[in-house]
Amino acid sequence: MKKLSIVDIANHLNVSKTTISFILNGRAQEKRIGKELVERVQKFVDEVGYKPNSLAKSLRTGKSNIIGLMVEDISNPFFAAIARLIEDRAYKNGYKIIYCSTDNDTSKTKDLINMFRDRHVDGYIIAPPEGIEEDISSLIKDGMPVVLFDRHLPNVSTDYVEIDNLFSTYNATMHLVQQGYKNIAFVTFASHQTQMQARLQGYKDAIKASGLRPVVQEIVFDQNEELIMGPIATFLKKNKNLDAVFFGTNHVGTCGLKVINNLGLKVPDDLALISFDDYDVFKLFSPPVSAIAQPIEAIADSVITVLLNKLNTSSQHISSQSIVLKTDFNIRGSSKAK
Amino acid sequence: MKKLSIVDIANHLNVSKTTISFILNGRAQEKRIGKELVERVQKFVDEVGYKPNSLAKSLRTGKSNIIGLMVEDISNPFFAAIARLIEDRAYKNGYKIIYCSTDNDTSKTKDLINMFRDRHVDGYIIAPPEGIEEDISSLIKDGMPVVLFDRHLPNVSTDYVEIDNLFSTYNATMHLVQQGYKNIAFVTFASHQTQMQARLQGYKDAIKASGLRPVVQEIVFDQNEELIMGPIATFLKKNKNLDAVFFGTNHVGTCGLKVINNLGLKVPDDLALISFDDYDVFKLFSPPVSAIAQPIEAIADSVITVLLNKLNTSSQHISSQSIVLKTDFNIRGSSKAK
């Protein structure tokens, strides 16, 4: 059965659309509409099971109970896990999440922000790509609740949830040094994003503090995995003196493991390994790979808590909040002492 | 700057809201609104850069260029990869995708369908949980384009995209038999969904055709991985005569590998392995695990092609279409001949 509209009800009861609308929106008394008519409308509505169109309702009230979530790439296990948990937490609090991948593409992201805006989402959770500062500033200026995560935009003052990237890579690099490794490379994606810059800096700081030489290989991201594996293979073949490699993301790490298998390298005897992010692929590798585990549940909890606070507080006086969470370093066989 | 509304424009030009609305919607001539006024409104609108609210527009036109995608669990790599590809294909065709996880929860799914409906999505792509037949039938009756994937609902006549589940497990079970394995178990999630039933049937058919005894272990799905690993461990300890195990999904397979590592079983000498779905974790295990690869790209392409055809055809005369795609069986070290 097709949903009844206010017009259908009005036609059926031979009453004006405006009157029906006032009654359904609880404004009968205010508008001095007779009790008898209110009862007649209510009875009919109960019988036919009319449900108000919530899109029209959100046009009136400006509330949709929907939160827009924008991640970089939903097929990345980090973002997939975060999205799943945020959706779960939000749903338990009466909010639905609709999400999209930005592909780190500025113009697609702008386009998606406009779509969310037009669909009247109540708030935004965004892992922002580069070049999106203006659009996010404009959302904030218009009073939209926005929480960033995974990274932040240095020139935009808003709430964000992050992990302690710099300390995490510093600490894990120091572990390699303590295990006796001396030629430690950092292989990562080329990126200006805050979290990637901080990871690189943590590695560099630890290498410098240990009096070693930094060896950094930045790889251009590509959807085609072969174009990530190729440069890693070339790099490893050219730098035969390396005794350890630190992969800067789960994606680089997974590609790196494939390259290491293809080259027939023994871990950790030929090459010790550490990866940022901790997933099944690292736990199940032989030997298991030491990895920095992001606190996925805590990130999701913090993001949704900060956003719900903003949604439920009409006051604009709360200054922005940044939450930095600790990671776990899971030491496994891939970084055994030399 | 805040977006101008029709009311703002009306107030500024001292013209009625209705008149502005008629002009902006190209109905000035029909409503006999003077040319001079139309030009004045148009000029002002051009100056201030007014953009019509596309939510209000979609209320009028019923078109949003948004497709609603509902997967079981976005953190499952199968659904994450499919969602990513569907989003990409849709975006290239001028459609945005908004997605949600159903958790295989009937009431959440009903709730999400209502939300999509209220947000005026143009079409639906759904991996349907059980118990949702009525809601999907109602969408279809109302003329909404719906494409199901991964599974179908036997009592609902609509388009769907699936893989050949029964043949895939039949074929892979036969491979184990040909490699000399005789005590082959099938470990899977307890489910009435069509794809899960077909996978189980393919295994049973092959076992029967080979004159062997079926050993089926159905596990109740749980978000907590320990509650999946526990029953697998108990099952493997109780059935020491098994020489091969076939995992019915990637999730069961990944949990199974962890159990096999924990129990210190050697693959394939103690136990040969095959898993449905093919992911990095299977490729990188030692030895690599033989796996049935779903044609993720072809599934995404088919889903979006079928839906776009429905969206672009005003005719209701197309009967529903079901597309069944072939899988690849990647034979690796985990099922080496005995």
- Judge if the upstream peptide bond of residue B145 is cis by omega within 30 degrees of 0: no
Considering the domain architecture, whether residues B108 and B227 belong to the same structural domain is answered as no
Residue A149 lies in a domain: yes
Amino acid at B83: A
Considering the domain architecture, whether residues B138 and B98 belong to the same structural domain is answered as yes
**A75-98 mean pLDDT:** 91
CB B153 within 8 A of CB B136: yes
Interface contact flag, A75 B84, Cβ < 8 Å: yes
Please compute, for residue B235, the number of CA atoms within 13 A of its CA located in the half-sphere on the CB side. Answer: 23
The whole-angstrom separation of Cα B58 and Cα B274 is 49
Nearest CA in chain B to A114: B54
Q: Is the predicted pLDDT of residue B312 greater than 90, yes or no?
A: no
The whole-angstrom separation of Cα B338 and Cα A115 is 58
The whole-angstrom separation of Cα B253 and Cα B281 is 9
Mean of all residue pLDDT scores within chain B:
89
Interface contact flag, B118 A77, Cβ < 8 Å: no
**A284 closest CB neighbour out of B66, B87, B258:** B258
Q: Is the predicted pLDDT of residue A60 greater than 80, yes or no?
A: no
Q: Is the predicted pLDDT of residue A3 greater than 90, yes or no?
A: no
Quote the pLDDT of residue A215. Answer: 98
Considering the domain architecture, whether residues B172 and B290 belong to the same structural domain is answered as yes
CB B128 within 8 A of CB B162: no
CATH of residue A251:
3.40.50.2300
CATH of residue A10:
1.10.260
Counted domains in chain B: 3
* Chain A residues closer than 8 Å to B100 by CB: 87, 96-99
* Predicted ipTM of the assembly: 0.76
Considering the domain architecture, whether residues B169 and B285 belong to the same structural domain is answered as yes
Nearest CA in chain A to B52: A118
Considering the domain architecture, whether residues B189 and B272 belong to the same structural domain is answered as yes
* Chain A residues closer than 8 Å to B141 by CB: 1
* C-alpha closest to that of A70 among A23, A118, A12, A136: A136
Residue A1 lies in a domain: no
**A281 closest CB neighbour out of B75, B138, B281:** B281
CB pairs A-B closer than 8 Å: 115
Residue B57 lies in a domain: no
Considering the domain architecture, whether residues A232 and A321 belong to the same structural domain is answered as no
Q: Is the predicted pLDDT of residue B309 greater than 90, yes or no?
A: no
The whole-angstrom separation of Cα B41 and Cα B17 is 11
SS3 B64: coil
Residue B90 lies in a domain: yes
Considering the domain architecture, whether residues B199 and B278 belong to the same structural domain is answered as yes
* Chain B residues closer than 8 Å to A300 by CB: none
Alpha helices in chain B (DSSP H): 6-13, 17-24, 35-48, 54-61, 77-92, 106-118, 133-141, 165-178, 194-209, 226-238, 250-263, 280-284, 296-312
How far is B208 from chain A, CA to nearest CA, in Å? 34
Per-residue pLDDT tens for A186-217?
A: 999 999 999 999 999 999 999 999 999 999 99
Per-residue pLDDT tens for A14-34?
A: 888 888 877 776 667 777 888
CB B28 within 8 A of CB B22: yes
* C-alpha closest to that of A146 among A174, A120, A125, A171: A125
Q: Which two tokens stand for residue B216?
A: 């089926």
Q: What is the DSSP pairing of strand A215-219 with strand A184-189?
A: parallel
The whole-angstrom separation of Cα A298 and Cα A282 is 21
Distances (CA, A) of A216 to A240, A257, B17: 14, 18, 62
CB B248 within 8 A of CB B199: yes
Considering the domain architecture, whether residues A81 and A154 belong to the same structural domain is answered as yes
Considering the domain architecture, whether residues A210 and A258 belong to the same structural domain is answered as yes
* Interface test mutation site (partner A, options B50, B51, B284, B297, max chain A beta carbons within 10 A): B284
* Chain A residues closer than 8 Å to B50 by CB: none
Distances (CA, A) of B300 to B84, B109, B145, B296: 9, 21, 16, 6
Going by the DSSP 8-state scheme, the letter that residue A197 receives in this structure is: H
Residues 188-247 of B with CB under 8 A from A: none
Considering the domain architecture, whether residues B101 and B122 belong to the same structural domain is answered as yes
Residue A44 lies in a domain: yes
**Does residue B84 belong to the interface with chain A, where contact is any CB pair within 8 Å?**
yes
CB A303 within 8 A of CB A269: no
How far is B220 from chain A, CA to nearest CA, in Å? 20
* Chain A residues closer than 8 Å to B73 by CB: 84
Residue A75 lies in a domain: yes
Quote the pLDDT of residue B94. Answer: 87
In this prediction, residue B217 has a pLDDT band, given cuts at 50, 70 and 90, of very high
Nearest CA in chain A to B120: A55
Interface contact flag, B75 A75, Cβ < 8 Å: no
Q: Which domain holds residue A284?
A: 165-295+329-335
Least confident of A191-195, A277-281, A290-294, B48-52: B48-52
Residues 265-304 of B with CB under 8 A from A: 280-281, 283-286
Per-residue pLDDT tens for B11-66?
A: 888 888 888 877 776 677 777 888 888 888 877 777 776 555 554 555 455 578 89
Considering the domain architecture, whether residues A132 and A12 belong to the same structural domain is answered as no
Interface contact flag, A118 B91, Cβ < 8 Å: no
* Interface test mutation site (partner A, options B117, B119, B267, max chain A beta carbons within 10 A): B119
* Chain B residues closer than 8 Å to A280 by CB: 254, 258, 281
Q: Is the predicted pLDDT of residue A220 greater than 70, yes or no?
A: yes
Residue A41 lies in a domain: yes
Quote the pLDDT of residue A51. Answer: 56
How far is B212 from chain A, CA to nearest CA, in Å? 32
* Chain A residues closer than 8 Å to B88 by CB: 103
Interface contact flag, B99 A101, Cβ < 8 Å: no
In this prediction, residue B268 has a pLDDT band, given cuts at 50, 70 and 90, of very high
Considering the domain architecture, whether residues B157 and B130 belong to the same structural domain is answered as yes
Q: Is the predicted pLDDT of residue B280 greater than 90, yes or no?
A: yes
Interface contact flag, A100 B101, Cβ < 8 Å: no
In this prediction, residue B1 has a pLDDT band, given cuts at 50, 70 and 90, of very low
Residue B287 lies in a domain: yes
In this prediction, residue B319 has a pLDDT band, given cuts at 50, 70 and 90, of low
